[in-house]
Each structure stands twice: as C-alpha cells, then as structure tokens.
Structure 1
C-alpha cells in the first residue's frame, strides 16, 4: 500500500485507526458494522473525523 502518497495525513490516520478497530471482527461483521455506521454520516470526511475523535 502506498496510501501515504495519496491521502492527507489526517485521513490516513483515520483510515488506519478504522482498520485496526475492525480487524478483530470477522469480515462479514466488520463490513456490516462499517456499512451501518457510514449511513449515519453525510460524508466520509465527517465519518473519519468522528473515528479520529473516538479512537
């Protein structure tokens, strides 16, 4: 992965934190949780900001 070259540092941090929080779940549970949580936010940016604030 070369995400650090295309993502802003704060976005990369949020994505990394999100992945680490989902890794303990089985893939189906992780995607269901991610999908249901994403529906609560109007944009990915707001979602990642919340993830960074919580984790």
Structure 2
C-alpha cells in the first residue's frame, strides 16, 4: 500500500515551501515506512532541501 500527500505554505524570508510525504506498507504488516521531502524556493534560505525517512506503526 502506498499513500501520498502534498502541502505548501509561504514563509516570509523563505518563500514558497513545499512538502511531499509518502507512506509505504505491505498488507498485514505492523510497520510502515514514511518518507518526506521539503523544499524551499528561496536561494537565501538556510535550508533549501530537507529529507527524512522513518519506520513506525
């Protein structure tokens, strides 16, 4: 099973910020994998790309 979501917001000084999140699991599995990627369009942002991965229930 794969689920996805997208979101965006505008931050003063960082411009448009987009987040994409995807969650994967196998039918009947107790654990799920979650991947997120957040980007900023501002060249002066302290962080322009941030990715993470997690395992949860």
Q: Same fold (TM over 0.5)?
A: no
TM-score by length of 2: 0.22
Greater strand content: 2
TM-score by length of 1: 0.22
Higher relative contact order (CA 8 A, sep 6+): 1
Greater helix content: 1
